[in-house]
Amino acid sequence: MKRFFHRLIFSLKMSYQYRKDLAKIYLNSPRRLQTSHLVLNDFKAQGIEVLVLDFDGVLAAHAEQTPLDALQQWLTEGLAIFGENHVFILSNKPNSQRIQYFQKNFQGVQVISGVRKKPYADGLQQIIEITQCPAAHILMVDDRLLTGVLAACIANTQVAYITHPYTNFEKRPLQESFFSLLRFSERRLMQTYCLLKKKKLSNQHKVQ
Ligand SMILES: [Mg+2]
Protein backbone atom coordinates (compact mmCIF):
# COMPACT_ATOMS: atom_id res chain seq x y z
CA MET A 1 0.00 0.00 0.00
CA LYS A 2 2.85 2.35 0.93
CA ARG A 3 4.47 1.60 -2.43
CA PHE A 4 1.19 2.33 -4.21
CA PHE A 5 0.94 5.79 -2.61
CA HIS A 6 4.59 6.55 -3.35
CA ARG A 7 3.96 5.68 -6.99
CA LEU A 8 0.77 7.75 -7.05
CA ILE A 9 2.55 10.82 -5.65
CA PHE A 10 5.45 10.28 -8.06
CA SER A 11 2.97 10.00 -10.98
CA LEU A 12 1.25 13.26 -10.01
CA LYS A 13 4.51 15.14 -9.58
CA MET A 14 5.96 13.86 -12.84
CA SER A 15 2.71 14.44 -14.78
CA TYR A 16 2.93 18.07 -13.77
CA GLN A 17 6.65 18.33 -14.54
CA TYR A 18 6.28 16.69 -17.97
CA ARG A 19 2.83 18.15 -18.77
CA LYS A 20 4.04 19.87 -21.96
CA ASP A 21 5.64 16.69 -23.34
CA LEU A 22 2.55 14.65 -22.45
CA ALA A 23 0.29 17.23 -24.12
CA LYS A 24 2.38 17.15 -27.29
CA ILE A 25 2.18 13.35 -27.45
CA TYR A 26 -1.55 13.40 -26.68
CA LEU A 27 -2.25 15.98 -29.40
CA ASN A 28 0.00 14.45 -32.05
CA SER A 29 -0.96 10.79 -31.67
CA PRO A 30 -3.30 9.39 -34.29
CA ARG A 31 -6.72 8.39 -32.94
CA ARG A 32 -7.57 4.67 -32.96
CA LEU A 33 -3.93 3.65 -33.23
CA GLN A 34 -3.33 -0.06 -32.60
CA THR A 35 0.00 -1.84 -32.30
CA SER A 36 -0.49 -3.67 -35.60
CA HIS A 37 -0.70 -0.28 -37.37
CA LEU A 38 2.89 0.57 -36.43
CA VAL A 39 5.17 0.15 -39.45
CA LEU A 40 8.40 -1.00 -37.83
CA ASN A 41 10.54 -0.42 -40.91
CA ASP A 42 9.56 3.26 -40.81
CA PHE A 43 10.75 3.55 -37.20
CA LYS A 44 14.01 1.83 -38.11
CA ALA A 45 14.45 4.31 -40.98
CA GLN A 46 13.88 7.15 -38.49
CA GLY A 47 16.77 5.90 -36.34
CA ILE A 48 15.00 3.69 -33.81
CA GLU A 49 17.28 0.83 -32.72
CA VAL A 50 15.45 -0.64 -29.76
CA LEU A 51 11.76 -1.54 -29.46
CA VAL A 52 10.15 -1.59 -25.99
CA LEU A 53 6.62 -2.95 -25.74
CA ASP A 54 4.07 -2.76 -22.98
CA PHE A 55 1.89 -5.89 -22.76
CA ASP A 56 -1.71 -5.20 -21.60
CA GLY A 57 -3.59 -3.35 -24.31
CA VAL A 58 -0.52 -3.27 -26.55
CA LEU A 59 0.10 -6.96 -27.31
CA ALA A 60 -3.21 -8.38 -26.08
CA ALA A 61 -6.33 -7.56 -24.10
CA HIS A 62 -5.90 -6.95 -20.38
CA ALA A 63 -4.52 -9.84 -18.25
CA GLU A 64 -3.93 -12.20 -21.19
CA GLN A 65 -0.75 -14.23 -20.88
CA THR A 66 0.22 -14.44 -24.55
CA PRO A 67 0.22 -11.87 -27.37
CA LEU A 68 -2.64 -11.92 -29.88
CA ASP A 69 -2.25 -14.40 -32.71
CA ALA A 70 -2.62 -11.49 -35.11
CA LEU A 71 0.58 -9.95 -33.69
CA GLN A 72 2.84 -13.00 -34.02
CA GLN A 73 4.00 -11.99 -37.48
CA TRP A 74 4.44 -8.38 -36.38
CA LEU A 75 6.66 -9.51 -33.48
CA THR A 76 8.69 -11.79 -35.75
CA GLU A 77 9.19 -8.81 -38.08
CA GLY A 78 10.21 -6.65 -35.11
CA LEU A 79 12.89 -9.15 -34.15
CA ALA A 80 14.16 -9.34 -37.73
CA ILE A 81 14.28 -5.53 -38.07
CA PHE A 82 15.77 -4.56 -34.69
CA GLY A 83 17.70 -7.77 -34.02
CA GLU A 84 17.81 -10.15 -31.08
CA ASN A 85 18.14 -8.50 -27.69
CA HIS A 86 16.87 -5.21 -29.12
CA VAL A 87 13.20 -5.99 -28.47
CA PHE A 88 11.93 -5.78 -24.88
CA ILE A 89 8.71 -6.22 -22.98
CA LEU A 90 8.25 -3.64 -20.25
CA SER A 91 4.99 -4.40 -18.49
CA ASN A 92 3.90 -3.56 -14.97
CA LYS A 93 2.89 -7.23 -14.72
CA PRO A 94 5.90 -9.26 -15.88
CA ASN A 95 4.62 -12.56 -14.45
CA SER A 96 6.33 -15.91 -14.92
CA GLN A 97 3.83 -17.12 -17.52
CA ARG A 98 4.57 -14.17 -19.76
CA ILE A 99 8.33 -14.52 -19.23
CA GLN A 100 8.17 -18.24 -20.08
CA TYR A 101 6.09 -17.55 -23.18
CA PHE A 102 8.75 -15.27 -24.65
CA GLN A 103 11.60 -17.56 -23.61
CA LYS A 104 9.90 -20.37 -25.46
CA ASN A 105 8.52 -18.58 -28.53
CA PHE A 106 10.58 -15.41 -29.05
CA GLN A 107 14.00 -16.03 -27.60
CA GLY A 108 15.41 -12.69 -28.72
CA VAL A 109 12.74 -10.80 -26.79
CA GLN A 110 13.68 -9.95 -23.21
CA VAL A 111 11.04 -9.40 -20.54
CA ILE A 112 12.17 -6.84 -17.97
CA SER A 113 11.23 -7.75 -14.40
CA GLY A 114 12.22 -6.83 -10.87
CA VAL A 115 12.14 -3.08 -11.48
CA ARG A 116 9.80 -0.45 -10.07
CA LYS A 117 6.58 -0.10 -12.05
CA LYS A 118 6.04 2.57 -14.70
CA PRO A 119 5.91 5.59 -14.58
CA TYR A 120 9.22 5.05 -12.79
CA ALA A 121 11.76 5.00 -15.60
CA ASP A 122 13.85 2.22 -14.00
CA GLY A 123 12.89 -0.36 -16.65
CA LEU A 124 13.82 1.98 -19.50
CA GLN A 125 17.06 2.90 -17.79
CA GLN A 126 17.90 -0.78 -17.44
CA ILE A 127 17.26 -1.24 -21.18
CA ILE A 128 19.56 1.73 -21.94
CA GLU A 129 22.27 0.03 -19.84
CA ILE A 130 21.78 -3.40 -21.43
CA THR A 131 21.77 -2.13 -25.02
CA GLN A 132 24.11 0.86 -24.54
CA CYS A 133 21.73 2.62 -26.91
CA PRO A 134 21.01 6.35 -26.45
CA ALA A 135 17.49 7.04 -25.18
CA ALA A 136 16.64 9.00 -28.34
CA HIS A 137 16.95 5.78 -30.39
CA ILE A 138 14.64 3.76 -28.16
CA LEU A 139 10.89 3.53 -28.86
CA MET A 140 8.45 2.83 -26.03
CA VAL A 141 5.05 1.56 -27.20
CA ASP A 142 2.38 2.01 -24.52
CA ASP A 143 -1.34 2.59 -24.16
CA ARG A 144 -1.26 4.54 -20.89
CA LEU A 145 -0.40 8.23 -20.78
CA LEU A 146 0.42 8.39 -17.08
CA THR A 147 2.42 5.16 -16.81
CA GLY A 148 4.34 4.07 -19.92
CA VAL A 149 4.19 7.34 -21.87
CA LEU A 150 5.19 9.31 -18.78
CA ALA A 151 8.10 6.90 -18.09
CA ALA A 152 9.24 7.47 -21.69
CA CYS A 153 9.11 11.26 -21.14
CA ILE A 154 11.20 10.90 -17.96
CA ALA A 155 13.77 8.62 -19.63
CA ASN A 156 13.69 10.84 -22.73
CA THR A 157 12.99 8.00 -25.17
CA GLN A 158 10.72 8.14 -28.22
CA VAL A 159 7.16 7.02 -27.74
CA ALA A 160 4.26 5.53 -29.69
CA TYR A 161 1.04 6.15 -27.77
CA ILE A 162 -1.48 3.41 -28.55
CA THR A 163 -4.83 5.21 -28.57
CA HIS A 164 -6.95 2.17 -29.44
CA PRO A 165 -5.69 -0.64 -27.18
CA TYR A 166 -6.75 -4.27 -27.47
CA THR A 167 -9.59 -5.15 -25.09
CA ASN A 168 -11.89 -8.06 -24.37
CA PHE A 169 -14.96 -6.79 -22.49
CA GLU A 170 -16.77 -10.10 -22.85
CA LYS A 171 -14.07 -12.01 -21.00
CA ARG A 172 -13.15 -9.47 -18.29
CA PRO A 173 -15.89 -6.79 -18.14
CA LEU A 174 -14.87 -5.36 -14.76
CA GLN A 175 -11.13 -5.16 -15.35
CA GLU A 176 -11.53 -3.80 -18.87
CA SER A 177 -14.06 -1.20 -17.67
CA PHE A 178 -11.72 -0.11 -14.90
CA PHE A 179 -8.77 0.32 -17.25
CA SER A 180 -10.93 2.03 -19.88
CA LEU A 181 -12.00 4.50 -17.21
CA LEU A 182 -8.35 5.14 -16.30
CA ARG A 183 -7.43 5.73 -19.94
CA PHE A 184 -10.48 7.98 -20.41
CA SER A 185 -9.57 10.03 -17.30
CA GLU A 186 -5.97 10.46 -18.48
CA ARG A 187 -7.17 11.72 -21.85
CA ARG A 188 -9.70 14.08 -20.25
CA LEU A 189 -6.99 15.45 -17.98
CA MET A 190 -4.74 16.18 -20.97
CA GLN A 191 -7.66 17.63 -22.93
CA THR A 192 -8.48 19.99 -20.06
CA TYR A 193 -4.83 21.02 -19.75
CA CYS A 194 -4.64 21.72 -23.50
CA LEU A 195 -7.88 23.75 -23.46
CA LEU A 196 -6.76 25.83 -20.48
CA LYS A 197 -3.41 26.50 -22.12
CA LYS A 198 -5.11 27.56 -25.37
CA LYS A 199 -7.41 29.89 -23.43
CA LYS A 200 -4.48 31.41 -21.55
CA LEU A 201 -2.60 32.00 -24.82
CA SER A 202 -5.60 33.65 -26.50
CA ASN A 203 -6.13 35.89 -23.44
CA GLN A 204 -2.46 36.94 -23.57
CA HIS A 205 -2.96 37.72 -27.23
CA LYS A 206 -5.99 39.93 -26.47
CA VAL A 207 -4.06 41.89 -23.82
CA GLN A 208 -1.22 42.56 -26.28
MG1 LIG B 1 -0.92 -1.26 -21.08
- What's the gap between Cα 132 and its chain centre? 21
pLDDT tens digits, 33-90:
999 999 999 999 999 999 999 999 999 999 999 999 999 999 999 999 999 999 999 9
Residue 174: its H or E element: helix 173-207
Q: What is the pTM of this model?
A: 0.94
Model pLDDT, residue 163: 97
Q: Which fold has domain 2-207?
A: Rossmann fold (3.40.50)
Q: What DSSP assignment string belongs to 64-80?
A: -SS--GGGHHHHHHHHH
Q: pLDDT category, 115, cuts 50, 70, 90?
A: very high
- Ligand 1 centroid to residue 185 C-alpha, Å: 15
Contact indicator for 68, 60 with CB cutoff of 8 Å: yes
- Ligand 1 centroid to residue 42 C-alpha, Å: 23
Cα separations (Å) of 20 from 14, 32, 48, 118, 154?
Answer: 11, 22, 23, 19, 12
Domain layout of the chain by residue ranges: 2-207
What pairs with residue 161 in β-bridges? 142
- Ligand 1 centroid to residue 205 C-alpha, Å: 40
pLDDT over 80 (residue 95) = yes
Amino acid at 73: Q
Which residues, other chains included, contact 140 with Cβ-Cβ below 8 Å and sequence gap of 6+?
52, 54, 90, 124, 148, 149, 151, 152, 155, 157, 158, 159, 160
In percent, the amount of the chain with pLDDT more than 90 equals 91
pLDDT (average), residues 139-166: 98
pLDDT (average), residues 171-197: 94
- Ligand 1 centroid to residue 133 C-alpha, Å: 24
Rounded Cα distance between 60 and 91, Å, is: 12
pLDDT tens digits, 1-28:
788 899 999 999 999 999 999 999 999 9
- Ligand 1 centroid to residue 120 C-alpha, Å: 15
Summary mean pLDDT of the chain: 95
Q: pLDDT category, 114, cuts 50, 70, 90?
A: very high
